Amino acid sequence: MRRRIELAGVAKSFGRTVALDGIDLTVEPGEHFALLGPSGSGKSTLLRVVAGLEAPDDGDVRFDGESQAGVEVHRRDVSLVFQQYALYPHLTALRNITLGLRHGLGLPAAEADRRAREVAGTLGVADLLDRRPRAMSGGQRQRIALARALARRAGIVLLDEPLSGLDAQLRLVLRVEIARHLRGSGATTVHVTHDQSDALTSADRIGVMQSGRIAQLGTPDELYDRPANLFVARFVGTPPMNTFPVTPAGSVFGVHPDLAPDTVLGVRPEHLRLDAHGAWRAAARVEAVEHAGPERIVHLWVDGTPARSRTDRSGVAVGDVLTVSADPGQVHVFAGPDGLRQGSALGAGAPVEPVGAH
């Protein structure tokens, strides 16, 4: 059964450290939701509160409108998948999957076995059921851990950094595989990760965590195209958004937006052009070039500020001095002590006439 998760004013502290600062959040039934943020931002604590592993200091967690206050972990309709697999080393894969079904849910042995084999077949690990964890690779262990979670048929599946211990190639395969199987299960999923690729690949919506709060909530496209503040702009995107501070002398582009003195201009790497065709132009020096198949990630030094350009242009070499440019409609303006996005430069008071390289 698909479940709705609601958090109302959830707060949690550990001593003087505020881990969660009044979180309000609703995850819709069947939604694949990701909590994205750096270490210490509060995302894993939030997941543990939903699971019942931590009790909130304030606020409430509700499943389909029913408060979970005082409800023990094993009585909540949740399954968990952890970074470290949490498999019993002395049990076979089959026994690891069926243990919770038999002793937690009270299923007959035959039914537990049938569910385990069915889920293992869909995840491509049916041939591993007689093996113990030490005889499996990291990816195989993670599939068994996922099979254990899916076999419970819980309405909510919670994933706590399930891919962070795997190599890059295996992460790429499993992040797509896990998303496919979870969508097929119909469960409501909350996926905690510090890796934006995990979140951007599979989530319907993402909550970006910053210092115990949700800095922005939206679809992957919304986070990338309209970051709410400088933190989100710098955290979401590979490479991250280029940011250029505006000083009394102007910015690297020579413009003076009519905004607060702490204004910062942001340009995504694909919008920082290696030519003079944009309305705003600046001189730059090439510091390094990453070859990424048909693309190049060009590392630049732009008037004392490091920056990157994503381009399909070849023939760029370290040491080249060239002109970079951007169009005001593709330049984000951030201002204020929290670095809130004010809009694009076209609508935020910045001049749009061409500015020569300097």
Structure confidence at residue 350 (pLDDT): 52
Structure confidence at residue 51 (pLDDT): 94
User: Residue 138 has which token pair?
Assistant: 């990291």
Model confidence at 1, pLDDT cuts 50, 70, 90, reads: low
Cα 270 to Cα 74, 220, 289, 332, 344: the distances in Å are 48, 17, 15, 13, 16
Taking only the tens place, the pLDDT of each residue in 146-162 is 889 888 888 999 998 88
Cα 7 to Cα 19, 40, 68, 298, 347: the distances in Å are 15, 20, 10, 43, 36
Cα separation of 72 and 52, whole Å? 6
Which residue from 336, 302, 334 is spatially nearest to 350, judged by alpha carbons?
Answer: 334
Residue 348 scores a pLDDT above 60? no
**Mean pLDDT of all residues in 25-42:** 95
Cα separation of 188 and 250, whole Å? 49
Structure confidence at residue 356 (pLDDT): 43
Taking only the tens place, the pLDDT of each residue in 270-329 is 999 999 888 889 999 999 999 988 899 999 999 889 999 999 888 899 999 999 999 989
Output 43 or 184, whichever has higher pLDDT. 43
**Mean pLDDT of all residues in 64-68:** 95
Residue 203 scores a pLDDT above 70? yes
Judge if pTM exceeds 0.95: no
Output 245 or 45, whichever has higher pLDDT. 45
Q: Is 346 helix (H, G, I), strand (E, B) or coil?
A: coil
Model confidence at 358, pLDDT cuts 50, 70, 90, reads: very low
Model confidence at 62, pLDDT cuts 50, 70, 90, reads: very high
DSSP H helical segments within 77-108, as ranges? 93-99
Taking only the tens place, the pLDDT of each residue in 85-113 is 789 999 999 999 999 888 888 889 999 99
Residue 354 scores a pLDDT above 80? no
The backbone torsions φ and ψ at residue 52, rounded to the nearest 5 degrees and listed phi first, read 95, 5
For the chain, give the percent of residues with pLDDT over 90.
59
Are 300 and 242 a contacting pair, CB within 8 Å? no
